[in-house]
């Protein structure tokens, strides 16, 4: 496959992002196939992931097609940048949002949510 998958991913991602110079793609091969890891600027995460992850899902699908053409299984891992939304919680934020393993906050009813919004 001679890293054609990596070149393809670089072409697609650099076409989406603002900070092209910060796009870094790693490639490793093992018995499970090819793993491409993507590092990029925090401001570009939303563009690459897309609404509900649809853009990332489409990129992964295209990478699998490229891999099938070369008889390889290709997977993509998008690394969370430092200071990203899944990083350590800010002071005062619930610990469960930082992935500490605690229970997530309980859901509010629609009336409670509207009441909270009325405060703003």
Task: Give the CA dihedral 69, 26, 60, 85, nearest 10 degrees.
Answer: 180
Tell whether the model's pLDDT for residue 43 goes beyond 70: yes
What pLDDT is stored for residue 78 in this prediction?
94
Phi/psi at 21 (5° precision): -70, -15
Q: Are 103 and 96 in contact (CB under 8 A)?
A: yes
| pTM confidence score | 0.66
pLDDT tens-digit series, residues 14-40? 999 999 999 999 999 988 899 999 999
Helices (H), 1-120: 4-16, 45-49, 54-69, 110-118
Tell whether the model's pLDDT for residue 114 goes beyond 90: no
Nearest Cα to Cα of residue 23 among 35, 36, 4 = 36
Beta carbons within 10 angstroms of residue 74's beta carbon: 24
pLDDT tens-digit series, residues 51-82? 999 999 999 999 999 999 888 999 999 998 77
| Coil, helix or strand at residue 4 | helix
């Amino acid at each position: 496959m001679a890293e054609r998958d990596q070149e393809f991913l670089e072409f697609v991602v650099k076409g989406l992002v603002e900070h092209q110079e910060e796009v870094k793609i790693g490639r490793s091969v093992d018995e499970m196939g090819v793993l491409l890891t993507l590092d990029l600027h925090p401001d570009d995460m939303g563009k690459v992931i897309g609404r509900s992850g649809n853009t990332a899902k489409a990129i992964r699908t295209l990478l699998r097609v490229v891999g099938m053409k070369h008889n390889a299984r290709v997977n993509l891992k998008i690394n969370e940048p430092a200071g990203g939304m899944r990083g350590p919680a800010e002071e005062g934020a619930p610990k469960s949002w930082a992935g500490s393993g605690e229970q997530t906050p309980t859901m509010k009813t629609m009336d409670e949510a509207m009441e909270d919004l009325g405060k703003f």
